[in-house]
Structure 1
Amino acid sequence: MGLISGVLALLFGGGRNAVRETVEIYRENAESRAERATELQSQAMTQFGREFVVPQKGLFDRVMDGVNRLPRPALALGTLGLFVAAMVDPLWFAERMQGIALVPEPLWWLLGVIVSFYFGARHQSKMQDFQRDIGAAMQRLPTVMGNIETVRVMRSDSPGVADPGPDANLIQNASRPDANPALTDWRKLRGL
C-alpha cells in the first residue's frame, strides 16, 4: 500500500497534478480558455464603450446639429407638399409652375451648385441638359404669359366660365343620349 500511495503522491502530491500538467502540453485547458475569452471580450467591450462616449456639447453645437438635419426632411416634405397643392388647387399650382419657368439660368446654376455640394456629387452632363431645358423654357416666355392669363380666366369664381355660349348643337348633343346598338338588339330579342 505504501508503494501505491508513494506513486500517487509523486503524480498528484505536493499540490501538483503531473497528469494534468502533461496533458495541458498537448491540449488546451477548456476552463482556462473560457476564462481568457471572457476577459478578452470584457476588455474589448470596455474599449468600444470608451470610443462611443460623446463629449458634452455646447448650445452652439447642438443648434448647428439641428440645422444640419433640416434640409433633407424639408426638401422631402416640400416636394410632397407640391403634390398636395397640385391636387387641392391646380390653377394656383399652374401659376406657380409657370413662374418657375421664368427663373434665370444663373440662378439655376447657383441652386445646382448648392444642392450638389450639400447632397453629394452630381453628374455634370445631366446638369447641363437640365440647363438647356431651362433655356428652352425661357424661349417660351410669351406662351407662358398667355397660359397664365388663360388659367386666370378659367377660375371657378369668374362669371360665365361654364356658359357654352350660343352653340345650340352643343346643348342638344349634351341632352340627347348616345345610341347603344347592343341595348337595341337586346330589346328586340326580349320583345320589348
Structure 2
Amino acid sequence: MRGLWQLLTGRSNIITTTAGAFIENAEAAGKREAEGKAQARRQFGAEFRHPRQGSFDRVIDGLNRLPRPMLAFGTIGLFIMAMVDPVWFAGRMQGIALVPEPLWWLMGAIVSFYFGARHQAKSQDFRRSVAETAAEAGAVDARVKALDALGQNTSDNPALDDWRAARG
C-alpha cells in the first residue's frame, strides 16, 4: 500500500503526469502567451522604427490616393449627367452594356485588390502609430508623476493639502 501511495504522491506523480497529457497547464500556457505577445510587439516595433520618407514613397502615396476620389466623383458625375443630359447618359450606358462579362470580372478583381491592399496599408499605419504611442507611455507616465510631485510640494492651500492627503 505504501508503494502505491508513493507512486501517486511522489516526485513523479503518475496522476499529474497522466492528466498533463490531456489538460493544458494554465501557468505554462500563460507564460507562452505572454512571451509570444512580447515577441510580436518587439518584432512589430522593429518593423516600423524608421518611417518611409523618400520622394518616391511620397509620389506613390499620392498616386494611391487618387482612385478612391476619382471613383466617388465619377459616380456622382454620372448621376448629375443623367439629370442634365439624359440622352448623353443613355448613350454612355449603352456603351457600358457592350462590355463583356469577363472584363467586368477583371475590373471587380482589380478594384477589390486595390481597396484590399489600401485597407491593409492603412491598418499597418494605424498599428505603427499605436506601437509608437505605446512606446511613449512610460515616458509620459514619468513626466506626469514628476509634475504631480511638483504640484504636491508647492501647495499654499491647506484645504487642497487635506484633500490630497485623503486621496492617498
TM-score normalized by the length of structure 1: 0.33
Q: Look at both structures and tell me which one has the larger radius of gyration over its CA atoms.
A: 1
TM-score normalized by the length of structure 2: 0.38
Between 1 and 2, higher relative CO (CA 8 Å, sep ≥ 6) is seen in: 2
